Amino acid sequence: MRSLLSLLCLSLLLTGCQPNSAEKLMRDYIQRLSNALEEPIAFQPQEASPYPSLPARRDRLHSLQEVREGLVDLLDLRHCTGLLPLIAERNSSLGRVMQPAQQLSYELELLRQLHNCQTQLREGLATAPEWSSALERVERIQQIKQQQLDKQIWNSLYASPEMEQQFSRASPARALDSQGQMADMERYLVSLIQVAQLTSRPLPDWPQEESFYQLSPLYEGLHRNRFGSEWLKSIQLLTYTLNQASTGIEARLERRPICFNQQANPRAQILRNVFQNYYATGVQPYLSQTHRDGERWLSLQQQLLELLPLPEAMQTYQQQVLDRHAEEGVWQTYIRARDRHTQTWQRLLTECGLAPGAQDPTG
């Protein structure tokens, strides 16, 4: 058994299944800093305060008025040719178990076909006045569907498994080399924002391209790209690391000065080397990339959320996790940790006459 475990561990190492590289980078920085300061600094990121969990799916759903019965009645209406196969498909066995992407595509296409059906019926009233009752049914169904479109989009998006995993707490932090991940995510979110903008556009002005309403590729992209959950874990890891480093530096400076009369000594030179070799060339580039990408992701999420009605259970979560201005939110908590880290290093380097002028040493 012991030999088997050894072989398994060796196999994991050879296949690259090693501890998360971002966490290793942070751990190395803290250990080097602790050694240079001669000050113990704990590094237990799993004990850091986690960001809030996404509310349960049932608490994220809006209730919607069901109008399927009225749609079934329209199956007898042969004049609205584009509408009939759509309704028939929805009422099939497969149509009753549509996935969120299919459900939303159906709802958008249904509204377009209801609008086209109204046009056809109005044009035919002169020769077929009996169509007036059908026209009234179509108008009523369209009104209901259009009034709750924003809730339908919310349900199909933010209650979908694909969007849920963007806020999972089970993902690791982003890899050190994550180029292109946010660019792909930006394309998906921009497209979804365009879909949400339909709620404020009259039906005649909706895009005519059929591809606009084929949403499965967007959902598949969300499923493959775990940017959100990995970014949230990264920002949590950075916040914890920066605060631990600051606490260690502050404790060391309060215990006894490192330098006197702003004269650098061997200990100060070691600390500067830690700053340059482990923070400036390691942690800081990762922090900068995480900052830039996260700022864009939060901005796009906010644009999307502003177009949709948030259930009550999501309002608190939105403030805590996605609002860049909330004082106790994820973003502002990270900003405070970053600024504190900058100030503690400035204090240490200034005390030893090593501060680079007015330049931000951790920027």
| 241, amino acid identity | T
User: What pLDDT is attached to residue 13?
Assistant: 40
What gap in Å lies between CA 161 and CA 173, rounded to an integer? 20
Question: Which pLDDT tens digit goes with each residue over 72-119?
Answer: 666 666 677 788 788 777 777 666 778 999 999 999 999 998 998 888
What gap in Å lies between CA 162 and CA 157, rounded to an integer? 8
User: What pLDDT is attached to residue 362?
Assistant: 39
Burial of 48-87, coded b for 16+ CB within 10 Å and e otherwise, reads eeebeebbeeeebebeeeebeeebeebeebeebeebbebb
- Residue 37 backbone class (left: φ over 0; alpha: ψ -120 to 50; beta: rest): alpha
Q: What residue ranges of the chain have pLDDT lower than 50?
A: 1, 3-18, 358-363
User: How far is C-alpha 350 from the chain's CA centre?
Assistant: 39
User: What pLDDT is attached to residue 10?
Assistant: 40
Long-range contacts of 212-216 (CB under 8 A, 24+ apart): 213/105, 213/108, 213/109, 213/112, 214/105, 215/101, 215/102, 215/104, 215/105, 216/101, 216/102, 216/105
Q: Tokens for 102? A: 């299919």
What gap in Å lies between CA 307 and CA 305, rounded to an integer? 5
Interior CA angle at 20 toward 15 and 24, to 5°?
Answer: 120
Beta-strand runs (E) in 175-251? none
Residue spans per domain, the chain: 20-49+227-351, 57-224
**DSSP H or E run through 332:** helix 330-351
Answer for the pair 362, 284: CB distance below 8 angstroms, yes or no.
yes
CA distances from 134 to 121, 140, 145, 146, 218 (A): 8, 10, 17, 18, 36
Tell me phi and psi for residue 260, to 5 degrees: -125, 140
Q: Tokens for 232? A: 């949230």
What gap in Å lies between CA 242 and CA 48, rounded to an integer? 12
Tell me phi and psi for residue 263, to 5 degrees: -105, 120
Is residue 345 classed exposed, middle or buried when 0-12, 13-18 and 19+ CB atoms within 10 A define those classes?
Answer: buried
Q: Tokens for 171? A: 């993902």
Answer for the pair 44, 259: CB distance below 8 angstroms, yes or no.
no
Q: How much is the pTM?
A: 0.87
What gap in Å lies between CA 257 and CA 252, rounded to an integer? 8
CA distances from 37 to 32, 258, 348 (A): 9, 8, 11
